[in-house]
Structure formats: structure tokens, C-alpha cells
Amino acid sequence: MSRMQGEFNCCQRVRSVRLVCRQTTSSALKGAIQLGIGYTVGNLSSKPERDVLMQDFYVVESIFFPSEGSNLTPAHHYPDFRFKTYAPVAFRYFRELFGIRPDDYLYSLCNEPLIELSNPGASGSIFYLTRDDEFILKTVMHKEAEFLQKLLPGYYMNLNQNPRTLLPKFFGLYCVQSGGKNIRIVVMNNVLPRIVRMHLKFDLKGSTCKRRASKKEREKSKPTFKDLDFMQDVQDGLLLDVDTYNALVKTLQRDCLVLESFKIMDYSLLLGVHNLDQAEREQQMEGSQSSSDEKRPAAQRALYSTAMESIQGGAACGGSIDTEDTMGGIPAVSGKGERLLLFIGIIDILQSYRLIKKLEHTWKALVHDGDTVSVHRPNFYADRFFRFMSSTILRLQVIKSNFEEEKKTMLSELLDSTQF
């Protein structure tokens, strides 16, 4: 064997060992999460329902899972681990507020294998999705978990005042400790159900500095585009009727104010666009595939946290109002008049405006125009984000409403002129 060939084989081996390691770590992590959540939710059910108290936000429950099992925990095939649950009673309250029953939460997270999303973000976080599309799990850094804990009382206050929100819905915060490592996981709502084909996907910040999807990203089968891509490719924006536009923009405005008050920035609007007309064309081309393939199973509807519910108060106000046809998406129209459904949520909010961010801004502002970099003062960030979303991305369907008005006027004039 040549030296080169030997090195190649060696590299291949290292790569496959790494892959096996990663897969093993990932499957051990998934297993630990499922065992841990199963235990903690079960344990909670024995505690009586009561109002959330201030001290509930600071509670951390911890349980050891030896692989041979204990009188509290089952035996398992993973290395020993400790599972921590942050603020269990407070999160139970949040889940209840969002209409999620303990049994459904348990079933979604613990009964089916979790699906790992391949390489979605730049931060190196691992993302898992529950098989039923309901929940997304993200590994977060120590600072982010700490920040979420501090945020909880304010988050609670905000949810009570304003259930209409596109902010992430946090359902749980956990930590798996194993082999001297701490892996913190946050459970949130999944904004983009896999069951709905997203024809376009954007991660928008309202900044134009370096906000274009990379060549590598564009080559993916389902790329996530950015602000500059939207401005170039969707020049007419997404058109909404007046009521939907007002509800959505009002929700965004309130959310921005809340984020600013928490000194949060660098968040994104995650936007998935399902083009109903394109889907119909695709279906015709694909032939026999039934359109019902893309509809959510009825059993999931009651607890699904949808974009439409987020702007109308849905589950949190005690009722789901979206229909079968919209699949929880927000109806809109493209500049060409094609019927769209929008799937929207604000993501990545666990960034506080710390010293490091300030330094990053000062440095970037020297290199670029200070107003276009995405790392900014929270009030400026919120203002720019809101303006961009409510004018460049989302727009009023003025022409259609004018046309309807004109039609009404013409009709009444016609009736007037034809009165006997």
C-alpha cells in the first residue's frame, strides 16, 4: 500500500470513528433526554396544581440515572448521567397556558425517536425535532440557559398579559450531566412543520450587512435565505389582507417592545413560505399523491402551536381557530397573485446585550456602516427589525382592497342608476 493510500485509509478511519462517536453521543444524549423528561414529567403529576410562586423560577431538580437503574430510575444502555430540570412548576404552567397536556408532552418527547436536524445554525447547537412535528429541542450554552432562567419571571408576566406572541414558546429547560460534561437543552415550539412543504425559507434580522445566504447554503436542497435574498427575490413582499396584516404587525410590534425591554437582540424572524398554487402544480406533476398528505393529522390539531394561533391568541385563549386548509399557516398572496401560507416565529432570543456584543458592535461599526451591522443596541435593533418586517417583508394587499371598494361603489352606483 502506498504512503498516500495509507494516510487516506487512516483519515477515513478517523472520520468514521468520529462519526460513530458523534452518533453514539447523539443517541446517548437523545436517550438521556427521553428518560429524564419521562421521569420529571411523571414526577410533576404527583404534585398538586397551584399558582406559580416567585421561588418556582429558581428551583432546579436533579436526579441521578445510573445505568444499572435505581429504586427511582430504570436501567438503561447509556453511560451514567444526572438529569436536571429547571423551574419545573413554572414550565408546567407555560405548557398548560399553551394548551399542552402532560400526556401529550410526554408522548411527543418520550415515545418516539427524536430526529436530529442536520447542521441548521452557525452556533454549533444540536437541534432535535419530535417525530410528530410539535417540539424542537436545541442545545444551548451555559450563558443562554442562565439567561433564560433570569428571563422566566418577565416571560411569565408577558405571557399572562399577552398570549398573542410570536416569541419562542419555551416548554422546558433541562441539563444532562455525563462524563464531566453539561449539555443544556431547551424545548420550544417548532415553527416549521416538516409535514408542510416550505417552498421558501428565510432567517431575517432586518439587517443588510452580510445578510445573504452563502454559496454552500444555496446548494442545499432546502436552503435558508436571508434578508438580502428576500429583497432581491421577493421584491413585492408578502401581501396580506388588512385584518391579518394588522394582527401580525401588532403582534410583532409588541414582541419587539418586550425583547427590547429585556435588552435582547440578534434574534431572527424565521419565515417558511408554502405556495399553495405551486404545491397544486407539483401535485399534478407528481400525479397520484393526495393533497391530504400535506395536512396535519386531526389528532395533532388541538395542541399544535401554530403561527395563526400566535397572532390571534389561539390555544392560549382557549380555542384553536385555524382551519384544515391553512394548516396553521397565515394566508398571504405573492406579488404574482399566488396563494401562500406563512409559517412564522421569532427565534434565537437568548442573546443578552453583554459587553462582548458591545465590543463586537464598536469594532464592526468601524469597518462597516454602523447602522447596517446586525449586532446593535437593543432599541435600535428592535426598531430596525420591526420596520423591515412590517414594510419590506409584510405588506398590505392594497390593490385588492381598493378593487373590492371600487367594485362595491360601482355596484351601488349601478343599483342606484337602475332603480325604478
Among 38, 79, 102, 120, binds ligand ATP (CB under 6 A): 120
Q: Does 167 bind ligand ATP (CB under 6 A)?
A: no
Q: Does 190 bind ligand ATP (CB under 6 A)?
A: yes
- State yes or no: residue 139 binds ligand ATP (CB under 6 A): no
User: Taking contact as CB under 6 A, which single stretch among the options 83-91, 185-193, 285-293, 323-331 is the one that binds ligand ATP?
Assistant: 185-193
Distance in angstroms (rounded) separating the CA atoms of residues 360 and 357: 5
Enumerate residues 304-363 that contact ligand ATP by CB under 6 A.
345, 347-348
CB of 242 to ligand ATP, least distance (A): 28
> Nearer Cβ to ligand ATP, position 132 or 203?
203
Our finding on whether 300 is near ligand ATP (CB under 6 A) is no
Q: Which is nearer to ligand ATP, 81 or 94 (CB)?
A: 94
The CB-side HSE value for 370 (13 A sphere, CA atoms) comes to 9
Kindly state whether residue 123 participates in binding ligand ATP, applying the rule CB under 6 A: yes
Separation of alpha carbons 419 and 36, rounded Å: 75
The answer to whether 137 contacts ligand ATP (rule: CB under 6 A) is: no
Could you tell me the end-to-end alpha-carbon distance of the chain, in angstroms, rounded to an integer? 102
**C-alpha to C-alpha distance for 357 and 370, rounded to whole angstroms:** 14
- Report which DSSP code applies to 393: I
What are φ and ψ of residue 176, in 5° steps?
-105, 120
Kindly report the backbone phi and psi dihedral angles of residue 251, in degrees, each rounded to the nearest multiple of 5, phi listed first. -60, -45
122 binds ligand ATP (CB under 6 A): yes
Nearer of residues 145 and 396 to ligand ATP, judged by Cβ: 145
As a whole number of angstroms, the distance between CA 181 and CA 178 comes to 5
Residues 248-277 that bind ligand ATP (CB under 6 A): 268, 270
Strand partners of residue 140? 184
Among 27, 125, 162, 372, binds ligand ATP (CB under 6 A): 125
Phi and psi angles of residue 292, each rounded to the nearest 5 degrees, phi first: -65, -15
Whether residue 77 contacts residue 89, with contact meaning beta carbons closer than 8 Å, is answered with no
Nearer to ligand ATP, 34 or 190 (CB): 190
Considering beta carbons, is residue 172 or 239 the nearer one to ligand ATP? 172
| Angle of CA points 415, 418, 420, to nearest 5° | 115
- Catalog residues that contact ligand ATP under the rule CB under 6 A: 120-123, 125, 127, 136, 188-192, 203, 224, 268, 270, 345, 347-348
